Structure 1
Amino acid sequence: MGEVVVGHCEPHFLLCGSTNCKARSLDLSANESQLMDAMHGKEVDLLTLHRQVLRLNQRLRATEHAQEKSARREVLLCSAMTILLLINGWFWLRR
């Protein structure tokens, strides 16, 4: 079997696709090259998942923003209705 000695990898290696990791000795057998291909596939899968998470975060932020606007509008509407109710009650009592 061949030996693969890999240098220090940055923690974001799989997410950003960085190639900072250099193999000091590459003597790959057929199984090791298949393993490397599988790792590359997982890197691509992780990149895809990372993009999907970013998109979901954007959607979540937009939904939360819309919910905050709706809550503010509801508070404003309830306050206005309460004020109108009090004014109408005061006019009714003054009759």
Structure 2
Amino acid sequence: MATQMNAPPLAGLTGLARRLVADGALSEADARGAVQEAAGARTPLARHLVQNALVDTQRVMHALSAEFGVPVLDLDAIDLAQVPIKLVS
């Protein structure tokens, strides 16, 4: 008796797309569609997701940070009034 082997969930998804699906930010079908559309448009996936309002910027930023092990630096969190500009020459 032969058994049918189903593809494991998220098979074929890598990097950012896989992370966002695993985190529940994007459905697997939406992720696959976005990957294909971004590749067809020769656009980075992160840009495609944000420009098409599939995932918000903050979620993409944190997913990229987790996926690639790079810390997040939120420039909006910096108060320029507190920066010691006069100390830099």
- Do Structure 1 and Structure 2 share a fold, with TM-score over 0.5? no
TM-score for both structures, normalised by structure 1: 0.23
Higher fraction of helix: 1
Higher fraction of strand: 1
Higher gyration radius (CA)? 1
TM-score for both structures, normalised by structure 2: 0.24
